[in-house]
Structure 1
Amino acid sequence: MRRSNAFVAARRDAIMALLERDGKASVAELAEHFEVSQLTIRRDLDWLESRHVLSRQHGSASLLNPLGRPSGSQRVRANRAIAREAAKYVCDGDCIFINGSSTALSIIDFIEARDVTVVTNNGKALLIGEHPALSILLTGGEIRPPRASMTGEIAMDNVRRIRAKKCFLGCTAISVADGITSATAPEPVVNALMLSQSDEHFLVADSSKIGRTSSFPFGTVDDIDTLITDTGATPEEVSAFLAHGVSRVIRAEPGLEVDADEMPGLL
């Protein structure tokens, strides 16, 4: 099942790359290209549409922001590359925190380690398929739609009961001057608690968030052991973070293609 999850993630990345190249494709064309059923392709397109990457028109799909825009499919691919890189640092037997960030939650798709426990306040974890290599624990708490993050005293009380090996947190913005910030008021206190209740701290943030600030801080840059971003981050930005206490900065390369031998026969 773990390999199936990785294959599905790879196929969705490849669908975005194909649409960037061709602009538009039908469900039938995609099903033939990837050697899967049309139902499988429709599920992939539903998933991508829910993330505002593409639009659907009468049995076909096209990107909302094709070719070179810093949003839409390229941003999603950057975040997927960041999640894939972050998953490399999850080890057998780890207990990890993941916060309400969609990028952080995507790490689960790429975890290859065994006997991993994920503790998250992201309600969308309920939508994740079977993953026998790990257990997912929800913090519980108050949910305020449209956000799926669980917050409040129940969430915090359950986080306090756990000592995690690592935390993987996303954010709205990060800068040397203002630290790690969020746009949503209830979430930062849970994020800060995950930082204090874990031994090693990873921040996952695409390059559009670097050098910016938002309303509600939950940490400073020297709280971060590893910042994982994408290649849009400049050498000057990387140097500034390293000079102000970040131990390691990794720039993940968003891929346009996946290995061809991974594609055929996916279910």
Structure 2
Amino acid sequence: MSEGRSSKVRHQTIIELLSTQGQVYVQDLAKQFDVAQETIRRDLSKLESQKLLKKVHGGAVNIQSKFERNFSERAQAAVDEKKAIAVKAASLIKPGDTLFIDFGTTTFEFSQRVKLIDNITVITNSPLLANTLQENPTIETILIGGQFNAALNACLGGIALKNITEFFADYAVIGAGAIHHLHGVMDQHVDEAAIAQKMMENSDKLMVLADSTKTNKHAINVVTGWENIDYLITTCKEFKLTDNKKRSKTKIIVAELT
């Protein structure tokens, strides 16, 4: 096998490894192909010049953003439930309403439904949601600025929090990292939790969207307790059936799968 042919095989294999693993290491690749580490470094440099990967110390990472990989994987989880929740939640929104919407796979499904409602105003920290909503020219979309997190496709941090305080909405519509039967809405990401809290503080009502994979779970951050949740749209019938004084304020709506 010629060197040219060998390099093509290595390049193809490296791209395949990156698509499944997200990252490769020079030392491991050198052992796998039985070549010098300098040969692998040249391979990575060439692939980077073709914009097929990004070199990092000791190896390379997938040129595809972490957000694209993570979002695709998360979006496939409980997809039918998320669609059912989105339909039920959107049925509560009427023309003239103003909404905060944070970013998540379920709120993304919600944006796909709510974009069919004319003459609403949506304030979001997600460029992806803003782009989706702009498909309806009657919707006024306000994009919150701040430090952009590519992995989450959202603007976070102090600037975003300050921007949110400049607005007031009828609803804050948020996703949930977890729904705990005692503690309420929880999230694993501190900055995401802060955004949801600020949106909630500047809204008349709080609507939480959570499929069954999020219920009866817990995470590191408490976003808000049950006393602040006006609506929980879920596919988990257990919350509807279980008596809990902490949830006395919350209207729990179970979205049925079709």
Q: Give TM class, smaller chain.
A: 0.5 to 0.7
Q: Which of the numbers 72, 75, 82 marks the counterpart of 1:51? A: 72
Q: Contact 1:98–1:105 at 8 Å: present in 2 too?
A: no
Match of 1:97 among 100, 115, 119: 100
Alpha-carbon distance in 2 for matches of 1:179, 1:51: 27
Where do 5+ consecutive residues of structure 2 fail to align? Answer: 1-67
Q: Contact 1:101–1:122 (CA<8 Å) still a contact in 2?
A: no
Structure 1 residues 172 and 137: CA distance shift in structure 2, 3 A: same
Cα distance in 2 for residues equivalent to 1:93 and 1:236: 31
Among candidates 143, 147, 156, match of residue 138 of structure 1: 143
Which structure is higher in RCO with an 8 Å CA cutoff and minimum separation 6? 1
Shift of 1:253: 1.6
Measure the CA separation in 1 of the matches of 2:245 and 2:257.
22
Aligned to 2:126: 122
Deviates more, 1:170-179 or 1:77-86: 170-179
State yes or no: 1:149 paired with 2:158: no
Structure 1 SS opposite 2:234: strand
Say whether 1:79 aligns with 2:82: yes
Q: Secondary structure at the match of 2:213?
A: helix
Q: Which residue of 2 aligns with 1:180?
A: 185
TM-score, with length taken from structure 1? 0.64
Judging changes above 3 Å, is the alpha-carbon distance between structure 1 residues 113 and 178 closer, same or farther for their aligned structure 2 residues? same
Deviation at 1:50, TM superposition (A): 6.5
SS at match of 2:170: strand
Where do 1:1-267 residues align within 5 Å?
Answer: 51-52=72-73, 72=76, 75-111=78-114, 112-128=116-132, 130-230=135-235, 233-235=236-238, 238-240=241-243, 244-255=247-258
Gap change, CA 1:122 and 1:184, over 3 Å in 2: same
1:131/1:154 CA distance change after superposition, 3 Å: same
Aligned-partner SS, 1:207? coil
**How far did residue 236 of structure 1 move?**
5.5
* Deviations 1:185-215, CA, capped at 9 Å, x for gaps: 2111111011110001110000111111101
Q: Report the alpha carbon displacement of residue 155 of structure 1 after superposing the two structures with TM.
A: 0.8
Once the two structures are superposed, what CA deviation does each residue of 1:35-82 show, in whole Å capped at 9, x if it has no partner? xxxxxxxxxxxx9x96348xxxxxxxxxxxxxxxxx946x01110110
Report if the CA contact (8 A) 1:52-1:72 is conserved.
Answer: yes
Is 1:192–1:219's contact at 8 Å kept on the other side of the alignment? yes
- CA, structure 1 residues 96+241, in 2 after alignment: closer, same or farther (shift >3 Å)? farther
Relative distance call for 1:83 and 1:237 in structure 2 (3 A) is same
The answer to whether the Cα contact below 8 Å between 2:226 and 2:250 also exists between their aligned partners in 1 is no
> Which residue identity is paired with 1:125?
L
Aligned AA for 1:208? T
Question: Of the two, which has the highest radius of gyration?
Answer: 2
State the AA in 1 paired with 2:85: I
* Separation of aligned partners in 1, 2:217 and 2:71: 26
- Tell me how far 1:124 sits from its aligned partner: 1.6
SS in 1 for 2:163: helix
| CA distance 1:78–1:218, change in 2 (3 Å) | same
TM-score, with structure 2 as normaliser: 0.66
